[in-house]
Amino acid sequence: MSSETRDVVEGVVDHLLHISYDETTVLRLTTADSEETVTALGKALFGVRPGESLRLHGTWTQHPRHGRQFKVARCGRTMPADERAIRLYLASGMIRGIGPVLASAIVDTFRERTLDIIDSEPVRLLEVHNIGAVRLGRITAAWQEQKSIAEIMLFLQNLGITPRLAVKIHTAYADTDRDPILVVRRTPYQLCRDVHGVGFHHADKIALAVGVPKHSDERLRAALLHELDKAGGEGHCHLPVRVLLARTRHLLSDDDPASTEIIDDAVLRHALEALRGQGEVVTETVPLTVMDGTGAAADTEIAQLTRFHRDETQLARHVRRLLSSSPALAELAPWEEWLTALASTETAGLTGEQQRAIHHALTRPLSILTGGPGCGKTHTLRTLVELADQARATVALAAPTGKAAKRLEETCGREAMTVHRLIRPPEGDSLFDHAGPLETADVVVIDEASMLDLSLAHRLLAAIRDGCHLLLVGDVDQLPSVGPGRVLRDLLDVDAIPRTRLTKVFRQHDDSTAIVTNAYRILRGELPHDDPRAFWNRPVSAPEDITRRVVELVCDLMPRHFEARPEDVQVLCPGKRNVAGMSDLNLRLQERLNPPAPDKPQHFHDGTAFRLGDRVQQIRNNPRRGGSGVFNGSSGTVTAVDVEAHELRVTFTDGETAVYPFADLDELVHAYALTVHRSQGSEYPYVVVPVISAAGTMLLQRNLLYTAVTRARRGVMLIGQTEAVERAVANNRTQRRNTALPHRIAHPVSAVTTPRGQAPAGQLALN
């Protein structure tokens, strides 16, 4: 039994002890009155950083193992009052430009008046050794920034909105002429558009708190946009209007009887029409397949974010353009004779399927090669490159991620790059720049094409000039792209595009035979079989035991048994949340593989410690990051953490480096464990897949398990609940994505001239 007393505790955060996957945070706090060190825990502490002064409301409890703890119900920020609190606050890096040594020097000079001096008489900081005019300017600017963030934070904290959003809001408007606190108070729904991480729920909570009426047009438009954006996150390019209205009604439903009138269909349609008039949404009627088993098409009214509509219609236009262009290489060489001669040799024998794929690539402007593991895609590509070289044709190789590009480069024995860098226009003086690869390429080969989302595919095909040949290579049985669309599968539905599916599985000459065999078993709906060399099923029932076992495998057992490094073992999870999900395992693996140390700098962002030596992955495209952009899926290592400058440096697997201000760390996730989706295009020596029923039917799918297994080169360990593996293998009902690409390719949209920023009047006509 525990004795409980309601209380308030004030103090300074010394350090964070633990942050669990459900955001429960445990920390050490030194109280302001008695300087007693206490342990505090609770979800309300999520996002707190060392050095912050807190006022905590909660309950004292007695834990049987850890002793007396303060269970926090509510957390508020205060300004540090005494010398020790001020010293900790400044030394924590909260004020950019002040590190631990300088913090001590400033506090030794001004004592308890330190913060007043920085705020009202900052020029007096010049009295401190090592502070000159330049550093004074940086400190003053950083102090004003913190004051602005604190003002936003103070306003938001009573709404239960995390402090990290205050930082995001300030950062979003830092280089603009807009006052962030005025945006928060006057146009809160604008935050949804301007600030990454502020979704409708946060903005709506703020809006209702500042008095925006429930029935306001602004609120209804924001709700509709939220549902369309959310659908994009689920992979959809559009929503049927009836589905959009139903989702929005559900979003806005509450216990208030007056809400019924607010979310009436007619009212929501009026808001949707307003969005269309503002150029943010396109609505039209298209014939789409009805999911009734007949395969029939029916006219469906759809709504689509303007950027998705632009990408989809323009991608369709470029597909038609390439299909109608004259293939420059078709008459360059006697390709059929060369292929026949090559197929007859023992060392370079080709199946009929492989010959057809190569012939399509060299004689048709657009073609597709697909097939599973071990079916000869690698040999086909290598032969294609050799034949092109023989004819003195130029081949450009690319893949959506750096790891996939590196593997393609090793396969074909020549340079390959990411798709983003392939299509990025050369910078600098054109008189001295070399021509980009797309300007000189006769054939462009894109590997792992199942990863191409709508936007990237649009940009790629727009960059392919007439006469150039484009070959898309991928495994259509893998998961679709992380971003909206299912481009490879949609293109396979277009009869005019020549395609080849390789079906013969070749005998492997290494331990990967068991991996390939089990991958195909999974595709057929059969359970995988153990193999002592390369494939293991280990049933474990309790989720907590699964997590513990995964950590043992990665950190101890597999490195010792296979003489491998822990970084050779990649954990791939069906989902992010729950025990044994990506978030949970990243925390636990980081604790073992890269624990905190006095000489190891770190920074807490959004409750996560980014530490020198951490393995990380980029999760958003940022063409302005680093020398030539950093893109979704790029993996690397944290090679520097500068607490005083408020930034860290990441070195990626391709050798590129990029600097991240602390405010931008939501572009990164730890990569000790990844979701299966985030592993696409990559290959690892060993893969460990924790499988639990709590992942749910939406994640326990056959193509997800197949994708995870095919990421491994030497060995796969499935560990978890047997019934979860059985559910995944049996579940072949992949989530359908709403796309209209095949229809748009077959039925061009009539040209509509629209002023910039406006939508066409009336629905788009179809030819």
Of 581, 544, 767, 568, residue with least CA distance to 673:
581
Tally DSSP H helices, then E strands, for the chain: 28, 26
- For residue 217, report the phi and psi dihedrals to the nearest 5 degrees: -60, -35
Count Cβ atoms within 10 A of the Cβ of residue 190 and give its class: 0-12 exposed, 13-18 middle, 19 or more buried: middle
CA-based torsion, 28, 104, 101, 162: positive or negative: positive
Q: Is 428 annotated as a binding residue?
A: no
Q: Return d(Cα 590, Cα 587) in angstroms, integer.
A: 5
Tokens matching residue 319? 């597909």
Q: Return d(Cα 542, Cα 300) in angstroms, integer.
A: 46
Q: Return d(Cα 426, Cα 407) in angstroms, integer.
A: 24
Q: Is 600 annotated as a binding residue?
A: no
Q: Tokens 């520097």 map to which residue?
A: 640
Of 754, 512, 553, 544, residue with least CA distance to 672:
553
Contact indicator for 364, 469 with CB cutoff of 8 Å: yes
> 548: Cβ–Cβ under 8 A, 6 or more apart, which residues?
none
Across the chain, which distance is largest between two alpha carbons, in Å?
90
Of 227, 223, 225, residue with least CA distance to 208:
223
CA-based torsion, 64, 68, 74, 75: positive or negative: negative
Q: Is 76 annotated as a binding residue?
A: no
Q: Return d(Cα 183, Cα 167) in angstroms, integer.
A: 14
Tokens matching residue 696? 């749910």
Q: Is 436 annotated as a binding residue?
A: no
Provide Rg for the chain, Cα atoms.
29
Contact indicator for 346, 376 with CB cutoff of 8 Å: no
- For residue 195, report the phi and psi dihedrals to the nearest 5 degrees: -120, 115
Q: Return d(Cα 712, Cα 692) in angstroms, integer.
A: 20
- For residue 410, report the phi and psi dihedrals to the nearest 5 degrees: -65, -35
Strand partners, 279: none
Q: Is 376 annotated as a binding residue?
A: yes
Count Cβ atoms within 10 A of the Cβ of residue 754 and give its class: 0-12 exposed, 13-18 middle, 19 or more buried: exposed
Of 47, 38, 51, residue with least CA distance to 19:
47
Q: How many CA atoms lie within 13 A of 27 on its CB side?
A: 30
Q: Return d(Cα 618, Cα 620) in angstroms, integer.
A: 6
Contact indicator for 221, 271 with CB cutoff of 8 Å: yes
Q: Return d(Cα 530, Cα 643) in angstroms, integer.
A: 48
Of 7, 59, 57, 11, residue with least CA distance to 34:
11
Q: Tokens 């003053």 map to which residue?
A: 140
Q: Interior CA angle at 12 toward 9 and 13, to 5°?
A: 105
Q: Tokens 């007096």 map to which residue?
A: 124
Q: Are strands 469-474 and 443-446 parallel, antiparallel or unpaired?
A: parallel
Contact indicator for 669, 650 with CB cutoff of 8 Å: no
Count Cβ atoms within 10 A of the Cβ of residue 304 and give its class: 0-12 exposed, 13-18 middle, 19 or more buried: buried
User: Which amino acid, residue 338?
Assistant: W
Distance of CA 248 to the CA centre of its chain: 25
Contact indicator for 119, 669 with CB cutoff of 8 Å: no
Q: Tokens 């689509």 map to which residue?
A: 304
Contact indicator for 41, 71 with CB cutoff of 8 Å: yes
Tokens matching residue 602? 């770190």
Q: Which residues are known binding-site members for ATP?
A: 374-378
Q: Which residues are known binding-site members?
A: 374-378
